[in-house]
Amino acid sequence: MPELSKRTNTFTDSVIRRMTRVSLQYDAVNLSQGFPDFEPPREILERLSQVTHEDFHQYSITWGAQNFREALAEKQSRLLGRKIDPNGEIVVTCGSTEAMMAAMMTVANPGDKVIVFSPFYENYGADTILSGADPIYVPLYPPKFNFNPDELEAAFKQKPKALILCNPSNPCGKVFTYDELKLIANFAERYDTFVITDEVYEHIVYEPHKHVYFSSLPGMWERTISCSSLSKTYSITGWRLGYIIAPAHVIDVAKKVHDFLTVGAAAPLQEAAVVGLKFDDTYYRWLQDKYTKKRDLFLKGLDDIGISHTVPEGAYYILLDISEFGFDSDLEFCEVLARDVGVGAVPGSSFFRENVNHLIRFHFAKKDETLYEALNRLQDLRKKIPVCNLKGR
């Protein structure tokens, strides 16, 4: 038989998605892959049931249905403080996963370099490799996950084509401050680099932190390719609705990439989601309040159990320190946790470039009762995974 493509040789399947399968296998409370177990807004679901009887069953325009783009342009124009052109400056994609991949393929040629902060959401590594680019990793240092400006500048000096900015950040929960973003903007300008953002948690930010859209910084509209999605904002991760917003000459190329990758996002789902895009600010305040309460509930539970953890400023992930259990492999720890304690987590090593093996990631986008059930199971953590059980054997 001929050899298969070498494209994927340097990476495994997604560990995040694998941990969902492991959780299902052991009937564990799945706090690994980040998605809600509560319902999307009722208005969106009601519109979805109407849409099934309307004429939305064929392809939409490849770069997105007209009324979806118009509603999205209106919402994001308010947030970005500039008028977004629904016809020239938006491509609707199959989730932000496709948006990020299409953005990478839009800017990077094989051999180009791309800056990725570490820890990072695992897709970025695969995205850069699949588009033929080479990642340059720049560490974010706990507890605040700050970067060292000198290290960042050293990365920019290697003439990268783009920097990937996940803000609010998965998995570390960092919300980049205005000053940090300004510093990145100055480097992007000085070294003539694009910035590809992943802003899917734009509406999940905890007081007193504020989300600043990178493209809204002075001079940054021209060099920012903003990616986001409706998944987290409207609790519809399975609908796979994402988008790219960028200047028209960038979008012209992104449209071609997207057209040949997927043709388009699901037409009936775009139509049903329009009602969500038209929600007023009350909805986003409600969402923020809901997640703030979940964060506080879950962090308090972890504190009562006595596990040390990060405190997210945004997004819905927590990194927990599992050093006390003495495992060599955090992946093995997560397997044992799912099997013996009944809670699914993602091994921290899947997010770090550095050799990090003492962290696991939980998410808290779950009903309160699910979070209580997980905390309840975690009470017995030290009995079920005794410290003496070194190396997990």
Using rule CB under 6 A, residue 351 touches ligand GLN: no
Residues 6+ apart with CB under 8 A from 98: 240, 242, 258, 261, 262
Q: Please state, in angstroms and as integers, the Cα–Cα distance from residue 307 to each residue in 175, 277, 343, 366, following that order.
A: 23, 39, 15, 20
Shortest Cβ distance from residue 154 to ligand GLN (Å)?
28
Pick one of 34, 36, 41, 301: the residue that binds ligand GLN (CB under 6 A): 34
Helices 368-378 and 281-305 sit at what angle, rounded to 10 degrees? Answer: 10
Closer CB to ligand GLN, residue 76 or residue 96?
A: 96
Closer CB to ligand GLN, residue 131 or residue 193?
A: 131
Closer CB to ligand GLN, residue 156 or residue 333?
A: 333
Tell me, letter by letter, the H, E, C secondary structure of the chain. Answer: CCCCCCCCCCCCCCHHHHHHHHHHHCCCEECCCCCCCCCCCHHHHHHHHHHCCCCCCCCCCCCCCHHHHHHHHHHHHHHHCCCCCCCCCEEEEEHHHHHHHHHHHHHCCCCCEEEEEECCCCHHHHHHHHCCCEEEEEECECCCCECCHHHHHHHHCCCCCEEEEECCCCCCCCCCCHHHHHHHHHHHHHCCCEEEEECCCCCCECCCCCCCCHHHCCCCHHHEEEEEECCCCCCCHHHCEEEEECCHHHHHHHHHHHHHHHCCCCHHHHHHHHHHHCCCHHHHHHHHHHHHHHHHHHHHHHHHHCCCECCCCECCEEEEECHHHCCCCHHHHHHHHHHHHCEECEEHHHCCCCCCCCEEEEECCCCHHHHHHHHHHHCCHHHHCCCCCHHHC
Residue nearest to ligand GLN (CB): 34
Torsion angles phi and psi, residue 254, rounded to 5 = -60, -35
Pick one of 97, 106, 128, 224: the residue that binds ligand GLN (CB under 6 A): 97
What is the footprint of ligand GLN within residues 128-187 (CB under 6 A)? Answer: 170
Pick one of 23, 30, 33, 357: the residue that binds ligand GLN (CB under 6 A): 33
Shortest Cβ distance from residue 168 to ligand GLN (Å)?
12
Shortest Cβ distance from residue 33 to ligand GLN (Å)?
4
Closer CB to ligand GLN, residue 155 or residue 338?
A: 338
Closer CB to ligand GLN, residue 16 or residue 51?
A: 16
Shortest Cβ distance from residue 169 to ligand GLN (Å)?
11
Shortest Cβ distance from residue 53 to ligand GLN (Å)?
30
Pick one of 7, 8, 13, 17: the residue that binds ligand GLN (CB under 6 A): 17
Shortest Cβ distance from residue 17 to ligand GLN (Å)?
5
Closer CB to ligand GLN, residue 34 or residue 125?
A: 34
Closer CB to ligand GLN, residue 217 or residue 345?
A: 345
Shortest Cβ distance from residue 121 to ligand GLN (Å)?
6
Q: How many residues bind ligand GLN (CB under 6 A)?
A: 7
Using rule CB under 6 A, residue 16 touches ligand GLN: yes
Using rule CB under 6 A, residue 121 touches ligand GLN: yes
Closer CB to ligand GLN, residue 126 or residue 163?
A: 126
Shortest Cβ distance from residue 363 to ligand GLN (Å)?
6
Using rule CB under 6 A, residue 348 touches ligand GLN: no
Closer CB to ligand GLN, residue 34 or residue 276?
A: 34
Shortest Cβ distance from residue 167 to ligand GLN (Å)?
14
The residues binding ligand GLN (CB under 6 A) are: 16-17, 33-34, 97, 121, 170
